[in-house]
Chain A
Amino acid sequence: MLPGPFEPPAAMIIIQGLTKKFGSITAVSGIDLTVAKGEVLGFLGPNGAGKSTTMKMIAGYFTPTAGRVSILGHDVETDTIAAQAQLGYLPEGAPAYGDMTPRQFLCFIAEARGFIGKEAKKRAADAAAKTELEPVMEQPIDTLSKGFKRRVGLAQAILHDPPVLVMDEPTDGLDPNQKHSVRQLIRGMAAEKAIIISTHLLEEVEAVCTRAVIIDRGRIVADGTPSYLLSRSRHHNAVTVALPVAQAAAAKAALQAQSGIASVEEGPRNDGVATLTAYPRGNALIVEQVSALAHAEQWDVKELYAEAGRLDDVFRAITTPDAQRARERAGAAS
């Protein structure tokens, strides 16, 4: 059957009430999530929030304390092998057998996934080509740079062209060029797959993800498109003006008098230039208002721009720093 234009996106990963406890510590607490074909879900959260633990349960490595995960209808706990066959998984830290070369390692993965002979070799070579590993195919993995090691892990995950991909920090340790090519690779595969990546690089979410989920203390605290999350930032639609210090005080007062503007903050001054940032009331669009005001008052404007929002604002506002979590945990234990 050909996919019609109105075919609803097929849910490929279904997570229900997923919970993992280690002794008295609850690492993941009742996560519900559905990921459809075509989605690239960015899993965000502070270190220790439960991202990796959740991914390990999706991949069938950890057994959940409660709840279930299904991959294309296969329950990961009861139908593990069938679920894992549909899954490409990059574990945290991209582990690989260091004494093997990438070619040997990828051929092993191909054989372990049931490809034999020429087909195994072809799969290994294709995966290596997609991740640009060709120059190092015959060197032991232990001797490779961090960037190549990470890509060996990526190659291993995409080798069988899985419909579901789960990758724990796929661009960790890569330089900006390598990050760019890995993101292009992910975007290129996105249409045909359901992909979950974890990251704490917020720019990565904006670059590759169609949906961002923020997790804190084992719970989902935000779930939406990257632009939805940006709109929750206090910088969303904020307008910044740079102008000579001499005009700053008057300009600040004039801006504060505007109806759409909630508050104005002055940034650092340098070279006789002051920056003022105006925060809108609600979601009001104030950039035209500010621009018109600058024209009318004849400010000597050096710069004027509106912001879409800052993800790290949102991130900081809704997650808990690790030190605070540790204190609370220690407090609960004593």
Chain B
Amino acid sequence: MRPVLAIFKREFAAYFATPIAYVFIVIFLLAMGAFTFSVGHFYDNGVANLSVFFGYHPWLYLFLVPAVGMRLWAEERRLGTMELLLTLPIPIWASVLGKFLAAWAFIGVALLLTFPIWITVNYLGNPDNGVIVASYVGSFLMAGAYLAISAAISATTNNQVIAFVVSVLVCFLFTISGAPLVLDFFQNWAPVVLVNTISSFSFLTHFQAISSGVIDLRDLVYFTSLIALFLSMNIVLVDLKKTD
């Protein structure tokens, strides 16, 4: 685990060595605030829970997480440091895991900084804090899934813009497959099994289940296995695409 830790430390510090971290956190918090209060009418709802706030998370992550993930490998490739990293006596899986965990922890920091809204809702009423904790856990897991997809796609290119655009697209497919828009389209003619399968691939379906306060093992398994799948793809892609 020691090399994973070394990679983790370097990557995590790298976010804060440049303005990237601060810009990201400010945009993340502003966007969360804007959606919750202006678009979601948090105050007008008069309900002491954070369902409005968490409801926007998948859509914000759709853009913000690929922005964090796009540089993970594309940058390494562009600078030529990929060769340095992969000739250190560190297995590829350790580099992939260390980078992923650092980026995930960074997103976790941004997510934790939304705590004032949790204080606000407790000040205004008596929310079910168990549901809120479950929602935070679910949100963090979902961010991890978006990140694993973005990291794997980042490993295929040396161009961060391409990595970003393709990641947003793939993440969008994983999100939208559970939205009413898509499900309604299939509901009228497709067998229930198919509709359920499409819906079960969606981040929305699983995140909504967790953020309703029920941490079901199936939802946890869904997110963790999705992360594991894309990290494995990431390892294979890094190994295969070294010659570019």
Contact = CB atoms under 8 A, between A and B. Distances in A.
Interface of A: 22, 56, 59-63, 81-82, 84-85, 87, 89, 91-93, 95-100, 104, 108-109, 111-114, 116, 140, 156
B221 interface: no
A99 B86 contact: no
Contact of B14 (A99, A111, A156): A99
A91 B83 contact: yes
16 contacts: A22-B243, A56-B83, A84-B87, A89-B87, A93-B80, A95-B81, A96-B84, A97-B14, A98-B79, A99-B17, A99-B18, A100-B17, A108-B10, A111-B2, A112-B6, A114-B2
B83 A84 contact: no
Contacts of B10: 97, 100, 108
B14 A113 contact: no
Nearest to A60: B87
A54 B242 CA distance: 14
A61 B81 contact: no
A95 B84 contact: yes
Nearest to A110: B6
A140 B2 CA distance: 25
Nearest to B92: A80
Q: Which 8 A-B residue pairings sit nearest by Cβ, starting from the closest?
A: A95-B80, A111-B6, A85-B89, A84-B89, A91-B83, A59-B87, A112-B6, A99-B17
Interface range, B side: 20 to 34
Residue among B6, B17, B86 facing the most chain A CB atoms (10 A cut-off): B6
Contacts of B83: 56, 59, 61, 91-92, 95
Interface in B1-24: 2-3, 5-7, 9-10, 13-14, 17-18
A87 B81 contact: no
B243 A62 contact: yes
A116 to B, nearest CB: 7
A62 B242 contact: yes
B229 to A, nearest CB: 24
B91 interface: yes
Contacts of A104: 13
Interface in B79-102: 79-81, 83-84, 86-91
Contacts of B18: 99
Contacts of B90: 81, 112
Given A56-B83, A84-B88, 9 more contacts: A22-B243, A60-B86, A61-B83, A61-B86, A61-B242, A63-B242, A85-B89, A100-B17, A108-B6
Interface of B: 2-3, 5-7, 9-10, 13-14, 17-18, 79-81, 83-84, 86-91, 242-243
Contacts of B14: 97, 99-100
**Main SS of chain A's interface residues?**
loop
B87 A112 contact: no
Contacts of B84: 91, 95-96, 156
A85 B91 CA distance: 11
A156 B83 CA distance: 13
Nearest to B81: A95
A116 B3 CA distance: 11
B9 A108 contact: yes
A104 B79 CA distance: 18
Contacts of A95: 79-81, 83-84
Residue among A60, A111, A156 facing the most chain B CB atoms (10 A cut-off): A111
B158 to A, nearest CB: 13
B81 A97 contact: yes
B194 to A, nearest CB: 42
Nearest to A56: B83
B80 to A, nearest CB: 4
Contacts of A59: 83, 87
B112 to A, nearest CB: 24
A105 to B, nearest CB: 9
A116 B86 CA distance: 20
Contacts of A87: 87
A104 B10 CA distance: 9
Contacts of B79: 95, 97-98
Given A97-B10, A98-B79, A99-B18, A61 B89 contact: no
B102 to A, nearest CB: 12
Contacts of B5: 111
A100 B18 CA distance: 10
